Structure 1
Amino acid sequence: MESFFDFLVRHWALSLAALVLIVLLIGNELSRRLQKFETIEPSDVARKAGREGVALIDVREPNEWKEGHIKGARHVPLGKLEGKLGELKGEAPKEVVIYCRSGNRSATAANLLVKNGFENVSHLGGGIIAWESQNYPVSKGK
């Protein structure tokens, strides 16, 4: 046991880095378990897209949307989503599926929806990159 503590003292920077990584890993796992929305695969989105009661929302920027989006999706950039919450609530979708380019912005958007009372919210893990990597089609332009 003394040699372990001796190692920690002699290699304090390495020990500190290891401790930070452990804390980050634990924090990441806890936040994943506490999230109130689901991360879904492209095949799940393909089954849900176009179904009645499912709002498919693309939260990317306009130039990204024009490059290609999932057919039937509604374009609401992340920066404008909060201002559209009332409108979206008025439509009363049974389920909301959100996507972006890689999954980061859509996770933020999903958290925003959940915090504002939306239930049955999910986001496309890996975003449209994952969608296209599995050869699902995209619509281009407006």
Structure 2
Amino acid sequence: MDQLIEFSINHWFLTLALFSVIALLSWTMISPGTFGAEGVSPTEAIGLINHENAVILDVRTDGEFADGYILNAVHVPQSSLSDHIKRLDKYRSRPIIAACRSGNRSAKACAILRKHNFERVYNLSGGVVGWQSAGLPLVRK
């Protein structure tokens, strides 16, 4: 044990790096549930859309949305989601799949939806980037 302490003191940078890696790995394992939404892959999202009439909620900015969006997506930017929650009431009985560019803003959107008692809320894993990587199309005007 004394050798471990001595090593840690003599090689403080390596010790710090080790604890940083452990902390980051722990965060990535914990974070998907942090915002209270289950992640779904693009393939799983298609299943929810086709079999359970799920709604895609695109929470990207207006500019990102204009560059291309998932067919039939409802667009409400994440920054104003709390102000427009009433607009989503008609989808309360359906699964809602939140999507952004990469999955971070949509996780926050899922937390907002959960806070407003939406029950079946999912986060599109990888966001629109993951959707495209899976070879799935976007609507472009």
Please confirm whether the aligned pair reaches a TM-score higher than 0.5, indicating the same fold: yes
Q: Equivalent residue of 1:140, what SS? A: coil
CA distance in 2, matches of 1:33, 1:74: 24
Q: Which amino acid aligns with 2:11?
A: H
Sort the Cα spacing of 1:49 and 1:91 in 2 relative to 1 into closer, same or farther, 3 A.
closer
**Ranges of 4+ aligned residues in structure 1 off by more than 6 Å:** none
CA distance in 1, matches of 2:49, 2:33: 26
What does residue 75 of structure 2 align with?
75
Does the 8 Å CA contact 1:53/1:93 hold for their aligned counterparts?
Answer: no
CA distance in 1, matches of 2:35, 2:54: 20
Q: Which amino acid aligns with 1:135?
A: G
Count of aligned positions: 141
- Offset of 1:92 from its aligned partner? 2.5
Q: Where does structure 1 lack aligned partners over 5 or more consecutive residues? A: none
What does residue 109 of structure 1 align with?
109
CA distance in 1, matches of 2:27, 2:14: 20
Q: Which whole-Å deviations, capped at 9, do the CAs of 1:66-100 have from their partners, x for residues lacking one?
A: 11111010111111111111221254332111101
What does residue 25 of structure 1 align with?
25
What does residue 6 of structure 1 align with?
6
Q: Where does structure 2 lack aligned partners over 5 or more consecutive residues? A: none
Sort the Cα spacing of 1:94 and 1:140 in 2 relative to 1 into closer, same or farther, 3 A.
same
CA RMSD of aligned residues (A): 2.1
Map 1:1-142; keep pairs closer than 5 Å. 1-33=1-33, 35-49=35-49, 53-141=53-141
CA distance in 2, matches of 1:124, 1:32: 11
Q: Percent identity, aligned pairs only?
A: 33
Does the 8 Å CA contact 1:96/1:120 hold for their aligned counterparts?
Answer: yes
- Offset of 1:31 from its aligned partner? 3.7
CA distance in 2, matches of 1:89, 1:46: 22
Name which of structure 1's ranges 82-91 and 57-66 shifts more when overlaid on structure 2: 82-91
Q: Which amino acid aligns with 1:85?
A: I
CA distance in 2, matches of 1:22, 1:70: 36
- Offset of 1:59 from its aligned partner? 0.5
Does the 8 Å CA contact 1:54/1:94 hold for their aligned counterparts?
Answer: yes
Q: TM-score of the superposition, structure 2-length normalised?
A: 0.86
